[in-house]
């Protein structure tokens, strides 16, 4: 059920993003120029934006925001810095969670790189570090507990988007944490990695 919901949401977001791009974004993709002040830096290649994450299933709900600032190094490579704020809740269930309710908040940050082998397709890597605060409640007897942890993560994945350097971009991506740290915020309650689905946009600070 969870996989079906995530897949349906992924398709819906891609369709909405595609519609938006047809109406708002030019059909060209690359307008990169190596000419810039002092050693090739161009303020036209600096962008600001971020992404939203949303996930839900039979027992869980997740929402997050990730502001980012980056720079288009070439016509096929972006890199930058990102920060994360995420909230996750898992409802109590006697079979799935043993009647334990979970509320989890995590924050952190890292760096990212997106390489475009094709104009509409990119591969992404995002090493980061997160701090996790989790509140547990046993609904059968009212007992509560708080758990704090931190963990490194390495998100790898791929995505679809449209990008006009010097103007703007949008994207949708799916990633997985490949480090396997037990305290990773991208695992389920059993320590299994979960898909991280993000839809985002960027605006270049000095539009051409």
Residue 25 contacts by C-beta under 8 Å, 6 or more apart in sequence? 162, 164, 168, 170
- pLDDT at position 188 over 50: yes
3-class DSSP state of 123: strand
Q: Please report the pLDDT score of residue 208 as a whole number.
A: 64
The strand pairing partners of 114, in sequence order, are 78, 124
pLDDT (tens digit per residue) in 54-65: 777 778 888 899
User: Which CATH number is 7's domain given?
Assistant: 2.40.160.20
Residue of higher predicted confidence among 82 and 190: 82
pLDDT in tens, 12-27: 444 444 443 444 444 4
If one counts the domains in the chain, the total is 1
Range of the domain at 186: 2-204
């Amino acid at each position: 059920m969870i996989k079906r919901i995530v897949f349906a949401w992924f398709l819906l977001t891609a369709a909405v993003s595609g519609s938006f791009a047809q109406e708002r974004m030019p059909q060209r993709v690359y307008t990169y120029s190596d000419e810039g002040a002092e050693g090739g830096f161009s303020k036209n290649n600096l962008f600001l934006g971020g992404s939203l994450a949303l996930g839900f299933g039979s027992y869980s709900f997740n929402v997050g925001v990730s502001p980012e600032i980056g720079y288009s190094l070439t016509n096929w490579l972006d890199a930058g810095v990102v920060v994360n704020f995420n909230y996750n809740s898992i409802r109590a269930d006697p079979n799935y969670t043993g009647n334990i309710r979970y509320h989890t908040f995590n924050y952190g940050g890292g760096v990212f790189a997106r390489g475009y082998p094709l104009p509409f397709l990119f591969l992404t890597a995002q090493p980061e570090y997160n701090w996790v605060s989790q509140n547990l409640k046993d609904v059968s007897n009212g007992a509560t507990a708080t758990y704090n942890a931190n963990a490194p993560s390495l998100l790898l994945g791929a995505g679809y988007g449209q990008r006009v350097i010097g103007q703007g971009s949008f994207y949708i991506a799916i990633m997985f944490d490949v480090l396997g740290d037990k305290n990773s915020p991208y695992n389920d309650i059993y320590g299994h990695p979960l898909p991280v689905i993000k839809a985002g946009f960027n605006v270049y600070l000095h539009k051409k």
